[in-house]
Amino acid sequence: LQTSPKDRSLAGLDLYFYQGFWFKSRVLKAVISFQEHLRPFDSDVIIATVPKCGTTWLKALTFSVLCRNQFASDENHPLLTFGPHQLVRFLEYDLYYNNPSPDLENDCVYRPRIFSTHVPYSFLPTSIKDSGCKIVFACRNPMDMFISLWFFQNNIIVENAVPLSLDEAFDKFCHGIYEFGPFFDQVLGYWKACQENPDKILFLQYEDLKEDINSHIRNLAVFLGVPFTEEEEEQGVVEEIAKICSFESLKEVEMNKKGMHASGIPNSVFFRKAKVGDWSNYLTPSMVERLEKLIQEKLGDSGLTLKLTC
């Protein structure tokens, strides 16, 4: 494995630069395992996200849309008992983390199978790119993403590591140094792929979901080939999914309050404020200016616009 150079980044995690992106070494090993071994079904769905951009929410939504006929009623909805990260597992943090060739058949109880990943588009194996499986991607404006990441990393701080100050973390973020960074390269990878193949990749932004979740649930269902029937619309299924997957509902579920993710991270850390524009409470005017310049420089002629506020 060729990696270079090494950086002690947020929360003292060792990161390695590999093919244009930053990884933890153990996670990179898992990525290489699934690149080699994953044999997706055409029916599989991959949730690909930039960290801290709504992965937990998107897992809940995608699961609820796709598996909506597999439980008897809303009272039996699996999200009332299990966390979104248990129902939809990460390829690199869960399934391939300890095992280069996991038994995916028995691991996934519901069908179709839904997997999740934070890897950049260039790291997705050709087996995913060439198969019929669909990819749902989500990003968020980098200011809120950065603040969310800073809180998250300092919450899961490893023993003896010193938390990074906002200034230090921000500087590293602007240089792209955090797990799966740089932000703009990751976002642009999926953006370009989506422009080329919109039937395969759905490109979502957290701010749009916050603005009108019901329309996005409908679009997601159409994209995944399971549109809501008239009867379902009359029964209010869309609104019910929005409610079960809402921040307010999910964060009160016992498993999300007290449970642990397989990696040892408390589930509660995935639920903080869920606000658009919270960055304005933390970033200084010079930080905002630096990020605005970066946004302009990196996304300038891409056709992609990120929403900094609602």
Positions marked catalytic:
118
Our CB check for ligand A3P shows the closer of 110 and 282 to be 282
Residue from the set 32, 48, 53, 241 that interacts with ligand A3P by CB under 6 A: 53
Q: Quote the DSSP letter at residue 260.
A: B
SS (HEC) of 106-140: HHCCCCCCEEEECCCHHHCCHHHHCCCCEEEEEEC
Q: Is 173 in the site for ligand A3P (CB under 6 A)?
A: no
165-168 contacts: CB < 8 A, separation 24 or more? Answer: 166/282
Q: How far is the CB of 139 from ligand A3P (least distance, A)?
A: 10
Choose one: 23-31, 168-176, 243-251, 286-294; the region binding ligand A3P (CB under 6 A). 243-251
Q: How far is the CB of 119 from ligand A3P (least distance, A)?
A: 14
Which residues in the 247-286 window bind ligand A3P by CB under 6 A?
Answer: 247, 250, 270-274, 278
Within 8 A by CB and 6+ apart from 191, the residues are: 203, 302, 303, 304
Residue 195, both tokens: 């422009």
Residue from the set 119, 136, 245, 308 that interacts with ligand A3P by CB under 6 A: 245
Query: Residue 62 burial (CB < 10 Å; 0-12/13-18/19+)?
Result: buried
Contact by Cβ (8 Å): 34, 104: no
Distance, in Å, from the CA atom of 244 to the CA atom of 279, rounded to the nearest integer, reads: 27
Our CB check for ligand A3P shows the closer of 131 and 170 to be 170
Q: How far is the CB of 247 from ligand A3P (least distance, A)?
A: 4
Our CB check for ligand A3P shows the closer of 252 and 292 to be 252
Residue from the set 11, 21, 31, 55 that interacts with ligand A3P by CB under 6 A: 55
Q: Is 116 in the site for ligand A3P (CB under 6 A)?
A: no
Q: Is 148 in the site for ligand A3P (CB under 6 A)?
A: yes
Q: Is 57 in the site for ligand A3P (CB under 6 A)?
A: yes
- Helix (H, G, I), strand (E, B), or coil: what is residue 14? strand
Our CB check for ligand A3P shows the closer of 191 and 271 to be 271
Distance, in Å, from the CA atom of 41 to the CA atom of 24, rounded to the nearest integer, reads: 28
Residue from the set 44, 144, 179, 207 that interacts with ligand A3P by CB under 6 A: 144
Our CB check for ligand A3P shows the closer of 131 and 261 to be 261
Residue 106, both tokens: 């028995």
Q: Which residue has the tokens 């997997």?
A: 115
| Binding residues vs ligand A3P (CB under 6 A) | 49, 51-57, 144, 148, 151, 245-247, 250, 270-274, 278
